[in-house]
Amino acid sequence: MDAPTLAVEVNKACEVLTDLRYFRDEASTSAALRTICRLLNEAAGGEERSFIYQVATSAGGVSALLGIIRCCPSISVLADAASCLSLLVQGNERAALDLASRDVLSPLLPLLYPRKQQHSSSSDERSKYPLSSHSRFLWTRERLPLYEAASSALRKLTYHSSDLERTLAQRGGIRLIIELSISPEFLAETSCYSPTAKKEFAKLTLGQKYMANAAPAPKTTRSDLLERFPALASLEHGPEYPYYVVDLVTYERKWVVDSIIDTGLVWPNHAPFPEGAEPVWTCVGVVCVEDPGHVWCQFCIDKPKPKVDAMVAALRSMAPPTGDEVIDDIPEVGDFCIAYFEPKYCHALSSIDKGALWGRGQVLGVEPGAKLRLLSLDFGTTATLPLSHVRPFLRECSGIPPCAVPCKVLGVAPIPVCTVVQENAAGINFASC
């Protein structure tokens, strides 16, 4: 398209945007915005895009666009306006800097905020603990196009202006971009957590005690048990293994998942407890992390039962292995045994000795070199140990449920595959998104 024809098309669209008579006419406003988007998409290159921006600026279209973003109540029109703004600054540093000088963040950033969620609970105990700063909001699928367009515009703007990026971070915009809403149902179908997310969550939680709103997982939510806790897949009774849903809170009354969400390695998930669950408050300790959404917990008790005391005493009385022991009866897959777990396999709580110790195990498999792959029933970890570190199961250890229970953590979800997040020394880089 030649320059005069292009200028005419842009001016016509800007005339609609700047005429107050059209302000309440959503159809006309959206049509004008989409015309500009079409022209930008059809532009031959950066020079033609810059020309469109210059014409739109001269015709008052850019000012009108910011006004629409600031005041228009229509979600669909706002999404079109944010998309138009995103295309205007794409590959156009001059446009980005010009918009930065117009304080573009003030109208654009509020588009990322979802509407408030009304939280209600019949439990008086729940009110003692604060709502997560991330779960106060409710994102909806209806607003998803708006969030995507607004976050795209912000990423492209900050790509050209480091000052704007700092301002965006100070105003909480980068966190909001990370938290861009997608429904819990969609999140459940997306990718697994990254190794970095698992590592960071393990640093935060391993060996720590928390208050937890916990409930046994209903049958409808047990479908991911064997997938998220692969060690259980080797056991015949794995599908029936105890499984809980937990909402973790520190003793300072802060939601544990907020810390990992703030890193940008996971997304918040606002799904409530599964239907049919009846959560109660209790104390737990995290002893193994599969990923930020799935951990092994020990459910704390103030005074151990006599059988637990007897088990702990029997295990502590056992001498460490010398490495020369000979095992006559090699356990088979599924058998219970006593094994000597190194410190890296047992993140003990304060009530249990820290360091290498004997504990209950279940055989997951036989490995070459006279070794067994074991699941620690009390720490949830999987270890491959030599036969010299294995003993027959003790009578004092029978009849006691596993101390480590697999738990699904509420409040987090993996970042979908379609979202590109690059980690670097400075933090999160959104330029490539």
List, for residues 316-366, the tens digit of each pLDDT value. 888 888 877 777 778 888 899 999 887 665 655 444 445 558 889 999 998
> Does 360 or 161 have the greater pLDDT score?
360
| Predicted pLDDT of residue 301 | 67
Measure CA of the first residue to CA of the last residue in the chain; give whole Å.
Answer: 30
Confidence of residue 173 (pLDDT cuts 50, 70, 90): low
Task: Specify which of 94-103, 259-268, 322-331 reaches the highest per-range mean pLDDT.
Answer: 94-103
For the domain spanning 306-400, the CATH number is 2.30.30.140
In which element (H, E) is residue 337 found?
strand 336-341
Retrieve residue 137's tokens: 């909001």
The predicted pLDDT at position 113 comes to 64
Mean pLDDT of 247-251: 91
β-partners of residue 201 are none
CA dist 8 → 1, 4, 49, 333 (Å): 11, 6, 15, 77
Question: Residue 105: how many CB atoms within 10 A of its CB?
Answer: 19
CATH topology of domain 3-182: Leucine-rich Repeat Variant (1.25.10)
Q: How many CA atoms lie within 13 A of 154 on its CB side?
A: 30
Is the model's pLDDT at 129 over the cut of 50?
no
pLDDT greater than 70 at residue 23: no
What whole-number percentage of the chain has pLDDT above 70?
77
The domain locations on the chain are 3-182, 190-300+409-413, 306-400
CA angle 344, 350, 356 (to 5 degrees): 30
- The rounded percent of the chain whose pLDDT value lies above 90 is 11
Distances (CA, A) of 5 to 12, 33, 203, 363: 11, 18, 60, 76
Question: pTM for the whole thing?
Answer: 0.55
- Amino acid at site 75: I
* C-alpha–C-alpha distance, residues 9 and 13, integer Å: 6
Angle at the Cα of 234 (from 233 to 240), degrees rounded to 5?
55
The mean pLDDT value of the chain amounts to 77
Residue 388 · residue 321 · CB < 8 Å: yes
| Range with the largest mean pLDDT of 57-61, 222-226, 235-239, 291-295 | 291-295
Sort strands 244-249 and 404-409 into parallel, antiparallel or unpaired: parallel
Residue with tokens 């005074």: 303
190 has a pLDDT exceeding 70: no
The pLDDT of residue 292: 92
Between the alpha carbon of residue 407 and those of residues 89, 213, 361, the distances in Å are 46, 12, 19
Confidence of residue 177 (pLDDT cuts 50, 70, 90): low
User: What is the average per-residue pLDDT within 238-243?
Assistant: 88
Q: Is 396 helix (H, G, I), strand (E, B) or coil?
A: helix
What is the spatial order of strands in the sheet that 336-341 belongs to? Answer: 382-386, 371-376, 357-367, 336-341, 390-392
The DSSP bridge partners found for residue 337 are 361, 392
Q: Which of 110-114, 155-159, 232-236 has the lowest mean pLDDT?
A: 110-114
Which pLDDT does position 135 carry in this prediction?
Answer: 36
Please report which confidence band the pLDDT of residue 244 belongs to, taking 50, 70 and 90 as the band edges: very high
**174, 176, 235, 352 from 241: Cα distances, Å:** 40, 38, 9, 24
| Helices marked H in 138-188 | 144-160, 162-170, 173-178, 184-187
- How many residues are there in the chain? 433
Dihedral, CA atoms, 186, 190, 195, 201, nearest 10 degrees?
Answer: 10
Range with the poorest average pLDDT among 16-30, 182-196, 297-311 = 182-196
pLDDT band at 286 (very low <50, low <70, confident <90, very high): very high
Question: For residue 130, what pLDDT is reported?
Answer: 36
pLDDT for the residue numbered 117 = 37
* Side-chain half-sphere exposure of 71, counting CA atoms within 13 A: 11
